[in-house]
Amino acid sequence: MAEAGFVNLYHGGMRVTPVAVITGASSGIGAATAIALGRHGYRIVVGARRIERLERVAGEDGTALRLDVTDEQSVSDFVRQVGKRFGRIDVLVNNAGGALGLNPIADAVDDEWIGMWKTNVLGLMWMTRACLPLLRKTKLGHIVNIGSIAGFETYKGGAGYTAVKHAPRPGGD
């Protein structure tokens, strides 16, 4: 789906194509972001668990790699592959995440709260930490964390999701 026609940057006298890594790109906002960045000339690397869907998003010119952001080993394997193939990351979009459940706290389901924390918070930290050396290579690396209005406002049954979308907001250093 993503189309070629890469843009070029000049870095240290060398012509390079900027690389964008998008997590959770097998559907929704992540897939749309990857396709848009591909159309703007980025070399896209998309990660998620459903590899067939990812491959459709990556198209012929993008790269689809299996990624489970809740598994630190999977994160490390993914980033190692990106480093081996491209040697840099210009843009990291931490998009993988979402909401689970609508129960009030009285009926909160542990697995839902733990699952949301691992995907939306720990996964974001593991990805960012692992990608930083490749982002630093570009001198101008960008990190975009996909938040939510739930990071600013509450809603009925949304205690777990609002907590995990508030959590990464101050982490800008």
Ligand X SMILES: NC(=O)c1ccc[n+]([C@@H]2O[C@H](COP(=O)([O-])OP(=O)(O)OC[C@H]3O[C@@H](n4cnc5c(N)ncnc54)[C@H](OP(=O)(O)O)[C@@H]3O)[C@@H](O)[C@H]2O)c1
* Burial per residue of 115-132, b for 16 or more beta-carbon CB atoms within 10 angstroms, e otherwise: bbbbbbbbbbbbbbebbe
Using rule CB under 6 A, residue 35 touches ligand X: no
Question: Contact region for ligand X (CB under 6 A) — 9-17, 76-84, 90-98, 127-135?
Answer: 90-98
96 binds ligand X (CB under 6 A): yes
Site membership for ligand X, residue 127 (CB under 6 A): no
In the list 62, 63, 92, 119, the residue contacting ligand X (rule: CB under 6 A) is 119
Output the six-digit token pair for 155: 């809603």
Residue closer to ligand X, measured from CB, 17 or 148: 148
**What residues are paired with 4 via a beta bridge?**
none
Binder among 4, 8, 9, 50 for ligand X (CB under 6 A)? 50
CA–CA gap between residue 94 and residue 71 (Å, rounded): 15
The verdict on 44 binding ligand X (CB under 6 A) reads: no
DSSP 90: S
- Single residue of 19, 44, 69, 82 touching ligand X by CB under 6 A: 69
Angle, in degrees to the nearest 10, between helices 110-117 and 159-166: 20
The CA distance from 69 to 19, in Å, is 19
State which of positions 139-168 bind ligand X (CB under 6 A). Answer: 146, 148
Instruction: Quickly list H helices, 26-89.
Output: 28-39, 51-58, 72-86
The residue among 59 and 97 lying less far from ligand X, judged by its C-beta, is 97
- # binding residues, ligand X (CB under 6 A): 22
> Which residues are known catalytic residues?
161
User: Taking CB under 6 A as the rule, does residue 26 contact ligand X?
Assistant: yes
Nearer CB in complex with ligand X: 68/90: 68
Rounded CA separation 69/14 (Å)? 33
CA geometry: angle 134, 140, 143, nearest 5 deg: 70
Please identify, using beta-carbon distances, which residue of 49 and 137 lies nearer to ligand X.
49
Interface with ligand X by CB under 6 A: which residues? 23-30, 48-50, 67-70, 95-98, 119, 146, 148
